[in-house]
A = this chain, B = another copy of it.
Amino acid sequence: MTDGVVERSRPRDRILETARDMFHKHGIKGVGVDAITEAAGTNKMTLYRHFESKDELIVECLRANAAKAGAMWDAFEAEFPGDKLAQLHAWVRRAAAMLNADGRGCDMANAAAELTEPDHPARLVIKELKEAQRERLVALCRGAGIGQAELLADTLSLLFEGARVSVQTVGAEGPSTQFVRMAEGLIVSFRGAAAG
């Protein structure tokens, strides 16, 4: 009931969406396939007809997350076409909004914390997404005319990543409240360094 999301759509989509939601809320190892299928209004057999294992379901969920993240970046470009600096500021606002969304951190980071086997198929997806995110942030910084684009991008991404785990450990009233100020200050500082 609390994890509902049982709109009428194809079972595979319902399972995927429900699993994403429940993994996010309760962690991957904290949710069994039975609970997922029940919340999705279907059953275990149907799940195993569409996904060959729970691990594959996990991977598919993470891929869906990656796709959603990709769409976010595209939305920035659509909203401020060509204006990379404006897109960078949009990213900061968007990141800050995520911090206040709920007390859970990044699904990718959480999955990496749980899936400790070094050759787990999910680790590849996680790494790919994180590297893609970094490249897009670097591209924004570079496009915004910032000299040390990689360094700023890495700094901003570590700050954001840190802020997300901070809300998960000490809550939304901790150091993460300063995220926007930090990020904006860094952007100003790096732009100043490029100009001066």
Contact = CB atoms under 8 A, between A and B. Distances in A.
Contact of A158 (B27, B112, B130, B182): B182
Nearest to A129: B169
B158 A166 contact: yes
Contacts of A179: 158
B27 A30 contact: no
Interface stretch (A2-10, A47-55, A75-83, A149-157): A149-157
A157 B178 CA distance: 12
Contacts of A182: 151, 154-155, 158
A146 to B, nearest CB: 15
A175 B162 contact: no
A178 B159 contact: no
Given A158-B162, A182-B158, A189-B189, A174 B134 contact: yes
Interface string A20-62: 0000011101100000000000000000000000000000000
A72 interface: no
A108 interface: yes
Interface residues of A, number: 48
Nearest to A177: B154
Contact of A127 (B104, B169, B176): B169
A106 to B, nearest CB: 8
A1 interface: no
A20 B113 CA distance: 15
Contacts of A29: 27, 29-30, 114
Given A30-B116, A175-B134, A160 B157 contact: no
Interface of A: 25-27, 29-30, 103-106, 108-110, 112-114, 116, 118, 126-127, 130-131, 134, 151, 153-155, 157-166, 168-171, 174-176, 178-179, 181-182, 189
